[in-house]
């Protein structure tokens, strides 16, 4: 039988050498990051605050005010700790694209100011989610009630977490918003970067495989089906690009994007009222009220035609398949 201590000692030495050679894969400073478990906990608490009695089994009446106050205290304490960790790590991380506003305030003070503003946004977020739920109800005849939508529709859950994470990102919180978005991505199959700007009444139907990139802009009353990508064109050297450059498309109001469509590029604008058909690959802008369809042919051509039939000539465009 091999000597266990010798095996352990050899492994320790090898791993310590690896840690020394690749410090970017470690965090051995005195600034621990949030754990995934803590992010899961805070996300559950926030969902319960947004949808009391729908995503938990608590009986709120007649003690709604008391239960809500306790939940907010718990959320405040946990969120404060997570934000402090993220701020401290970001301030001392020398190999990242994190850009923090220079401030003489302590991480603790910054965290408390952020939470105060974030809590003030919660009623507004609930108003936005009301529109999202209504959009799902109107957009899907299979939906029987608002409660069913909140409990079982992945698109609504993904949007709820996105709207929370987006506000934290706007308030200058690093790392945590992305961890929240990846948590809900894991649960729903819908990947929305917290930086994406999303208007009112978005309906993500089915949702599996939907990807919405960081600088995407989505207007009001948009409908997106499964497998849709709002993505960026490949960048040869990201280090030479501005971190604030717009890399993802803009979708204007009242657009419908059917399953499997990929719309790419920061300069790509889909005009209001347009319909993007299934499996379309789009890397340029289209005018409002335009229908973009995919047709299989010997030449593998996709084409555009105006849904109102008032334009002069349909525009034929060759795409790569």
Give yes or no for residue 13 having a pLDDT over 70: yes
Residue 240, pLDDT > 90, answer no
Cα–Cα nearest to 212, from 255, 251, 172, 154: 251
Q: Are residues 66 and 212 in the same domain?
A: no
Global pTM? 0.88
Cα(200)–Cα(167) distance, integer angstroms: 15
CATH number reported for the structural domain that contains residue 63 in this entry: 1.10.3130.10
Specify whether 228 is located in the same domain as 273.
yes
pLDDT at 271 exceeding the cut of 90: yes
35 lies in the same domain as 129: yes
Do 205 and 139 lie in one domain? The reply is no
Indicate if 116 and 37 belong to the same structural domain.
yes
Determine the Cα–Cα distance for residues 99 and 9; give it in Å rounded to an integer.
40
Residue 22 lies in a domain: no
The distance from CA 313 to its chain's CA centroid, rounded to whole angstroms, is 39
Q: What is the pLDDT of residue 99?
A: 61
What is the rounded average pLDDT of the residues 282-287? Answer: 94
Q: Please check whether residue 11 lies inside any domain of the structure.
A: no
Number of independent structural domains in the chain: 2
What does the mean pLDDT of the chain come to? 88
Q: What residue numbers bound the domain in which 164 lies?
A: 30-93+107-188
* Domain co-membership, 212 together with 183: no
Which is more confidently placed, 315 or 294? 294
Q: Of 149, 167, 188, which residue is a domain's last?
A: 188
| pLDDT reading at 312 higher than 70 | no
CA distances from 251 to 191, 219, 316 (A): 17, 6, 21
- My answer on whether 164 and 262 are in the same domain is no
Does any domain span residue 165?
A: yes
């Amino acid at each position: 039988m091999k000597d266990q201590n010798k095996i352990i000692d050899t492994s320790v030495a090898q791993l310590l050498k690896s840690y020394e050679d690749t410090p970017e894969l470690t965090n051995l400073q005195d600034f621990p990051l949030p754990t995934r478990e803590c992010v899961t906990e805070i996300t559950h608490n926030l969902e319960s605050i947004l949808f009391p009695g729908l995503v938990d089994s608590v009986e709120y009446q007649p003690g709604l005010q008391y239960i809500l106050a306790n939940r907010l205290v718990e959320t405040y304490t946990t969120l404060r700790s997570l934000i402090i960790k993220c701020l401290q790590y970001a301030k001392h991380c020398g190999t990242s694209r994190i850009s923090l506003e220079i401030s003489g305030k302590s991480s603790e003070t910054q965290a408390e100011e952020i939470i105060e503003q974030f809590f003030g946004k919660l009623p507004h977020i609930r108003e936005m989610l009301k529109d999202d739920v209504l959009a799902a109800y109107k957009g899907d005849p299979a939906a029987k009630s608002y409660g069913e939508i909140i409990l079982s529709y992945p698109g609504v859950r993904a949007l709820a977490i996105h709207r929370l994470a987006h506000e934290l990102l706007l308030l200058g919180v690093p790392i945590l918003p992305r961890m929240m978005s990846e948590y809900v991505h894991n649960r729903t199959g819908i990947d929305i970067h917290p930086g994406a700007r999303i208007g009112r009444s978005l309906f993500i139907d089915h949702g599996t495989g939907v990807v919405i990139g960081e600088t995407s802009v989505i207007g009001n009353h948009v409908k997106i089906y499964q497998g849709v990508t709002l993505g960026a064109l490949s960048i040869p050297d990201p280090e030479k690009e501005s971190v604030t450059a717009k890399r993802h498309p803009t979708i204007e109001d009242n657009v419908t994007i059917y399953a499997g469509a990929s719309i790419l590029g920061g300069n790509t604008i889909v005009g209001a009222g347009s319909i993007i058909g299934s499996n379309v690959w789009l890397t340029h802008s289209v005018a409002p009220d335009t229908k973009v369809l995919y047709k299989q042919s010997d030449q593998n051509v996709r084409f555009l035609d105006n849904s109102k039939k008032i334009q002069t000539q349909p525009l034929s465009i060759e795409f790569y398949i």
